[in-house]
Amino acid sequence: MRTGEIQPWRGGRGRAAFAGVFQGWSRAALAAETAGYGIGLALGCIATLLLAGCTAAASGSRAVGGSGASRSTLPPGVQTISFRGDTLREFPLAAATRARYEQQLAEAHAAYVRTPTNVDSIIWMGRRLGYLGRIREAIDIYTKGIALYPDNPWLYRHRGHRYITVRELDRAIADFERATRLVAGKPDEIEPDGQPNAQNQPIGTLQSNIDYHLGLAHYLKGDFARAIPVYRRRMLGEAQNYDQIVSTGHWLYMSLRRLGREDEAKESLVAISRDMPVIENQVYHRLLLLYKGELPVDSVLALGPSGEMSVTDATAAYGIGNWHLYNGRRAEAEAIFRRILAGGQWGAFGYIAAEKEMVGVR
């Protein structure tokens, strides 16, 4: 993957505006929390490496930290079993979207056939399969790549993402922690977008995506305390643009609220404002403004007449449902979680989170 210049901060406020975003927090406590995560990460290295090695050798073995489904026992066409025991098959894609993704896959496949050991060919083949919901095939491609390039962090970053998709959270965490060690002390790199935004300007980097997904995997396990230092690390100086600030800030705020740390959650919103020049993550931006009390809830999400949801809608709806949940409105939260599950976007992170919230609830 190419190394590029990191996207600069845009707008008049710049990075300096966020220098004191956590000024109300105890720096000593923050350092201790982050150090504690690092110690835990170090202590887990051997187990993580063993797990990563096992998954590299046999990606179809029993799921870890997920639904418990075995790849070898899944019915034909089933990608995984949900946390609630439902079979999950293909993504619900519009016909035009599916046609575009199929064309992109055909191009990636042609490149992969020409150069099957080229790491970029491997990664793009896996990404294009993933967009179509062919998650197990994507994982297999990344696993073959890891056998060739066991020290390539991009392969762990992308395979970890798809382990989240199939609800194998411990495997995802193992991959992201391996990637974290591989990039430690190295310059960050821009991650090319698979589906470019309107400005054709990538907003993510290798390291920001490792952190984002690692924190998310901890969050989805209900381990909010382990998600927080990952998100704080990025918010405290490693985030490269406003899109990263709002996406990270969203999950950080929710993690803090789920642990009842309301003052810290409120402090995390201090530098969030309406005029942030966000390119792509407008939903996260609006959710943060909702949490701050600056937007009404009906301005964040507007569903179609039949209640259909896009991936972005599922993300917004989960944020609203979670907002009801930690404010003591369980019935309202569950009603929204049910709507997310009915929407069918099972690959969306908001869907996965709602699914986890509704385990045991019928």
- Nearest one of 188, 289, 191 to 246, comparing CA atoms: 289
CATH fold of 44-186 reads 1.25.40
pLDDT of residue 201: 87
CA 310, 312, 314, 320 dihedral sign is negative
- Confidence (pLDDT) at 206: 96
Please write the tens of the pLDDT for every residue from 148-185.
999 999 999 999 999 999 999 999 999 999 999 999 99
Question: Residue ranges per domain, the chain?
Answer: 44-186, 301-362
- The mean per-residue pLDDT over the stretch 20-40 comes to 52
Closest C-alpha among 299, 285, 212 to residue 248: 212
pLDDT at 310: 87
Kindly tell me if the per-residue pLDDT of 89 is higher than 70. yes
Q: Indicate the pLDDT class of residue 41, thresholds 50, 70 and 90.
A: low
Which tens digit of pLDDT belongs to each residue from 268-309? 999 999 999 999 999 999 999 999 999 999 889 876 656 668
- Averaged pLDDT of the chain: 85
Alpha-carbon distance of 143 to 212, in angstroms, equals 21
